[in-house]
């Protein structure tokens, strides 16, 4: 196993800069998730780690070794892609043994290593099948098996679950996480799905437009997003972000409402943030007009307007109010987030 360091890495395709100086520290055995919107440079960064793209400037080290000029096959990494890239004309066994076959490993070593990976992944009964005879989840497992047999220092995953249906995705997410807990191999996992990132990562790196917005443990990003981008990206439903300014009795929203502020609030906040799950129904709350009610069973999502400001709320209670009716709601004061309007930076609150 090995640590990975990405130091001030830039990437340009011709005249187009796509990574603008990325720094990421990954500890030995850590599960790091790179998350961000489509096109922000996640795959490019992962491919540079794998050695499939050259590095325009900066340095990537795996363990103590700078690998900028080390070819992919000598980097001691294994990559799992979104489309699995299994060979259709080969059995599961042969797909998994492929890299060892290339390396001219003896048959008994191949059988031992494939057997070990198949056991870990529950594929023992499927070794003689062809990819077309497998379900999506089984194919995904074979792709992981191919990575495991290589005993790599680092696993790289690029959106490995995006071709699976929602239920299977949740199941495979748990399997990959459990696999990591058993094998403890340093892992870099790319996704655009913030829930996948939150549930799987030891550390999340939020990327946007070719740079890192924030890196840290999932709950740290949830509790203390460093800026507006992270605040809006992490959490579902997304945080309410209300424009306005500091006023007499609280935060004066452009839409007319006045939101209470914690005692500790200071600085010139231009944006008031409150997560849907941190708004409570309270008899002494602010009157709000119901726009939409969406019961999910476990909770009720409500969009309600205070003045012209719509707020998404997620209540644990069931709500019987109908659109047009008034409910009384209150943000949990200690869980308010304040941001500067120009820079979008978080203010201490
Ligand atoms: N080979 C390439 N040539 C030119 N531009 C590319 C190439 N590969 C990726 N890009 C561009 O780099 C940016 C980042 O792409 P990518 O790393 O695939 O993003 P992500 O994986 O986060 O969706 C995109 O704007 C994409 O169009
Ligand atoms: Mg990608």
Determine how β-strand 337-339 pairs with β-strand 271-274: antiparallel
Determine what percent of the chain is predicted with pLDDT higher than 90. Answer: 81
Domain end, chosen from 165, 200, 226, is at: 226
Do both 246 and 180 map to the same domain?
no
Average model confidence (pLDDT) across the chain: 94
Task: Give pLDDT, residue 120.
Answer: 86
Do both 210 and 245 map to the same domain?
no
Task: Give pLDDT, residue 35.
Answer: 98
Number of domains in the chain: 2
Residue ranges lining ligand 1, Cβ < 6 Å: 13, 16, 18, 36, 38-44
**Among 10, 14, 15, 18, residue to substitute to test ligand 1 (most atoms within 8 Å of Cβ):** 18
Do both 151 and 54 map to the same domain?
yes
Q: For residue 15, which ligand has an atom nearest its CA? A: 1
Assess if residue 21 is contained within a domain.
yes
pLDDT at residue 323 greater than cutoff 90:
yes
Assess if residue 194 is contained within a domain.
yes
By alpha-carbon position, which residue is closest to atom 27 of ligand 1? 39
Here the CATH number for the domain that contains residue 329 is 2.40.50.140
Do both 65 and 109 map to the same domain?
yes
pLDDT at residue 168 greater than cutoff 90:
no
Do both 216 and 126 map to the same domain?
yes
Average pLDDT over residues 267-296: 95
Contact 328, 282 (CB under 8 A): yes
Tell how far the Cα of 80 is from the centroid of ligand 2, in angstroms: 12
Domain end, chosen from 197, 226, 255, is at: 226
Task: Give pLDDT, residue 56.
Answer: 97
Name the band, by pLDDT with cuts 50, 70 and 90, for residue 296: very high
Assess if residue 234 is contained within a domain.
no
Assess if residue 232 is contained within a domain.
no
pLDDT at residue 293 greater than cutoff 70:
yes
Do both 165 and 314 map to the same domain?
no
Tell how far the Cα of 19 is from the centroid of ligand 1, in angstroms: 9
Its domain, for residue 30, covers: 4-226
Strand pairing partners for 306? 309
Dihedral of the CA atoms 226, 228, 232, 238 (nearest 10)?
A: 100
Average pLDDT over residues 199-218: 98
Query: pLDDT, tens digit, for every residue of 101-160?
Result: 988 999 999 999 999 999 888 899 999 999 999 988 899 889 989 988 888 999 999 998
Do both 222 and 244 map to the same domain?
no
Which H helix or E strand runs over 229? helix 228-233
Task: Give pLDDT, residue 150.
Answer: 86
Tell how far the Cα of 312 is from the centroid of ligand 2, in angstroms: 30
Do both 31 and 142 map to the same domain?
yes
Residue 91, number of CB atoms within 10 A of its CB: 17
pLDDT at residue 83 greater than cutoff 80:
no
Strand-by-strand arrangement of the 4-13 sheet? 16-26, 4-13, 57-62, 65-66
Domain end, chosen from 174, 202, 226, is at: 226
Atom number in ligand 1 closest to CA 40: 22
**Burial call 107-121: b when 16+ CB within 10 Å, e when fewer:** eeebeebbbebbebb
Assess if residue 270 is contained within a domain.
yes
Do both 124 and 256 map to the same domain?
no
Tell how far the Cα of 41 is from the centroid of ligand 1, in angstroms: 6
| CA–CA separation, 286 and 42 (whole Å) | 42
Task: Give pLDDT, residue 248.
Answer: 80
Query: pLDDT, tens digit, for every residue of 334-346?
Result: 999 999 999 999 9
pLDDT at residue 349 greater than cutoff 60:
no
Tell how far the Cα of 133 is from the centroid of ligand 2, in angstroms: 28
**Among 12, 17, 41, 211, residue to substitute to test ligand 1 (most atoms within 8 Å of Cβ):** 41
By alpha-carbon position, which residue is closest to atom 12 of ligand 1? 18
Do both 218 and 262 map to the same domain?
no
Assess if residue 144 is contained within a domain.
yes
SS3 content of the chain, % helix, strand, coil (to 5): 30, 35, 35
Average pLDDT over residues 232-252: 94
Task: Give pLDDT, residue 1.
Answer: 74
Dihedral of the CA atoms 184, 189, 195, 198 (nearest 10)?
A: 50
Tell how far the Cα of 81 is from the centroid of ligand 2, in angstroms: 10
| CA–CA separation, 199 and 169 (whole Å) | 12
Assess if residue 235 is contained within a domain.
no
Do both 187 and 314 map to the same domain?
no
Q: For residue 162, which ligand has an atom nearest its CA? A: 2
Assess if residue 140 is contained within a domain.
yes
| CA–CA separation, 74 and 61 (whole Å) | 13
| CA–CA separation, 332 and 275 (whole Å) | 9
Atom number in ligand 1 closest to CA 158: 21
Average pLDDT over residues 323-329: 97
Here the CATH number for the domain that contains residue 136 is 3.40.50.300
Name the band, by pLDDT with cuts 50, 70 and 90, for residue 194: very high
Do both 313 and 171 map to the same domain?
no
The predicted model scores a pTM of 0.93
């Amino acid at each position: 196993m090995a640590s990975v360091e990405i130091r001030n890495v830039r990437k340009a395709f011709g005249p187009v800069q796509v990574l603008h100086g990325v720094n990421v520290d990954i500890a030995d055995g850590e599960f790091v998730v790179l998350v961000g919107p489509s096109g922000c440079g996640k795959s490019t960064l992962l491919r540079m780690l794998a050695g499939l793209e050259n590095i325009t400037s900066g340095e990537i080290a795996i363990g103590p070794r700078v690998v900028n000029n080390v070819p992919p096959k000598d980097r001691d990494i294994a990559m799992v892609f979104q489309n699995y890239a299994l060979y259709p004309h080969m059995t599961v066994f042969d797909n998994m043994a492929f890299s060892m076959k290339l390396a001219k490993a003896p048959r008994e070593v191949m059988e031992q290593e494939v057997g070990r990976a198949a056991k870990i992944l529950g594929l023992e009964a499927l070794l003689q099948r062809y990819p077309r005879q497998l379900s999506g989840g089984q194919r995904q497992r074979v792709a992981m098996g191919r990575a495991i047999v290589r005993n790599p220092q680092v696993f790289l995953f690029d959106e490995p679950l995006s071709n699976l249906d929602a239920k299977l995705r949740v199941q495979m997410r748990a399997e990959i996480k459990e696999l990591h807990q058993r094998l403890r191999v340093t892992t870099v996992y790319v996704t655009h799905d913030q829930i996948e990132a939150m549930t799987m990562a030891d550390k999340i790196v939020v990327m946007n437009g070719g740079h890192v917005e924030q890196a840290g443990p999932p709950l740290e990003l949830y509790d203390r997003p460093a800026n507006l981008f992270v605040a809006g990206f992490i959490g579902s439903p997304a945080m309410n972000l209300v424009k306005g300014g500091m006023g007499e009795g609280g935060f004066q929203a452009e839409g007319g409402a006045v939101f209470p502020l914690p005692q500790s609030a200071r600085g010139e906040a231009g944006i008031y943030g409150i997560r849907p799950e941190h708004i409570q129904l309270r008899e002494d709350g602010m009157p709000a007009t119901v726009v939409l009610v969406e019961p999910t069973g476990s909770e009720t999502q409500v969009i309600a307007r205070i003045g012209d400001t719509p707020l998404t709320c997620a209540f644990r209670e069931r709500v019987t109010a109908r659109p047009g009716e008034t409910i009384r709601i209150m943000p949990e004061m200690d869980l308010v987030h304040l941001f500067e309007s120009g820079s979008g930076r978080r203010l201490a609150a």
